[in-house]
Amino acid sequence: MKTQLALPITKVQNSRIAETDFSNLVFGRTISDHMFVADYKNGEWCDARIVPYASLNLNPANATLHYGQSIFEGLKAYRNEEGKILIFRADANWRRLNESAERMCMPELPEEIFMEGLTQLIDLDRNWVPTAKGASLYIRPFMFATDDYIGVKPSDTYTFIILTCPVGNYYNKPVSVKVETTFTRATEGGTGAAKTAGNYAASLYPARQAQKAGYDQLLWTDGKSHSKIEESGTMNIMFKINGKLITAPTHTGTILKGITRDSVIQLAKDWNEPLEERFLTVSELETALQEGTFEEAFGTGTAATIAHVQRINVNGKDYDLPQKPTDAFSHRVLAELDGIKYGLVQDPHKWILSV
């Protein structure tokens, strides 16, 4: 990509990379040397810059602290064998950021600021992209309100930041999940489709209850009847039952439109795998688990790409899922996505941007 945006860059005096243990990375704990920052005031984005990663000044009246106007994205970059850095579907993250922004009454971010900020930051911190197999650079773009004002109204000023974190393999072990039929993540008309901070805040208590009971994650059901499976809260969820892939549709506005979900659906279509975008009911799931038509379940999300599900709790009963055959759809689709992300196989949908 040609550089168009003149971006002032202030480099760190002393890089922290030498004292970073790349063989012991905890997800989200290690932040690379620099960050990209842009501010929104007087109705426009200004002052785009790359600066050393550092704390921000915090005014106690900051609007985000009180009313939660805050949205984020998550994407990853991978190092290929020639040392090029490959970023997966960044344009889709930019589009989704702006969809979230609209729902939360926040300003749209121009594509140029997002893409130039991203690519110049990653180029500058390219040594932070890990080399180990399965490792990557997690990229966290986010936007939040910055008015120092505690009246309830959309903020007039915002800051957009991109941080990057080297990460190892996220979920290398299969997860156990519980179908949640008491608490609600999202309802029609709510903010479930926006990648906004408050959705996560609201999910922590139910998720902790499930973790105390021994499950890694929840499978959320619809807020009205709790009879239809929606998603997992950090991942979308897919099932294979009786030869067919099933995943929740996104038209209700209660499902986060995962980019991994979209990529898996595209590959399933490319491979002529039968796939239905429809709600799987809890009772359908229960019947399939009891009658042996159930084949597999897996989560899709940037952090894990594919998280295999090994146990599902439905209506208080645990079902241990059969061992997946090596040619299970989830194994094949993970191998293909990894191949594309690390530049080892063809990229027919132009998902990769190379830096």
Ligand X SMILES: *Cc1c(COP(=O)(O)O)cnc(C)c1O
Q: Which residues bind ligand X (CB under 6 A)?
A: 74, 195, 231, 233-236, 256, 258-261, 300-302
197-227: buried (b, 16+ CB within 10 Å) or exposed (e) per residue? bbbeebbeebbeebeeeebbbbbbbbbeebe
Pairing of β 244-247 and β 236-241: antiparallel
Given the complex with ligand X, which of 48 and 165 has the nearer CB atom? Answer: 165
Closest CA to 355 of 121, 132, 10: 121
Q: How far is the CB of 22 from ligand X (least distance, A)?
A: 23
Q: How far is the CB of 5 from ligand X (least distance, A)?
A: 25
Closest CA to 349 of 257, 275, 266, 272: 266
Q: How far is the CB of 75 from ligand X (least distance, A)?
A: 7
For residue 197, which amino acid is it? A
Partner residues linked to 37 by β-bridges = 49, 161
> Which residue is associated with the tokens 């499950």?
215
Closest CA to 137 of 221, 65, 32: 32
Given the complex with ligand X, which of 30 and 300 has the nearer CB atom? Answer: 300
For residues 215 and 244, the answer to whether their CB atoms sit within 8 Å is no
Given the complex with ligand X, which of 230 and 295 has the nearer CB atom? Answer: 230
Q: How far is the CB of 143 from ligand X (least distance, A)?
A: 15
Given the complex with ligand X, which of 129 and 259 has the nearer CB atom? Answer: 259
In the chain, the largest separation of any two C-alpha atoms, in whole Å, equals: 63
Given the complex with ligand X, which of 32 and 100 has the nearer CB atom? Answer: 100
Separation of CA 54 from chain center: 24
Q: How far is the CB of 93 from ligand X (least distance, A)?
A: 7
Q: How far is the CB of 21 from ligand X (least distance, A)?
A: 26
For residues 229 and 313, the answer to whether their CB atoms sit within 8 Å is no
For residue 230, which amino acid is it? E
Task: Tell the burial category of 2 from Cβ atoms under 10 Å away from its Cβ (0-12, 13-18, 19+).
Answer: exposed
Given the complex with ligand X, which of 146 and 302 has the nearer CB atom? Answer: 302
Q: How far is the CB of 290 from ligand X (least distance, A)?
A: 28
Given the complex with ligand X, which of 194 and 289 has the nearer CB atom? Answer: 194
Please give the structure tokens belonging to residue 254.
Answer: 């209660």
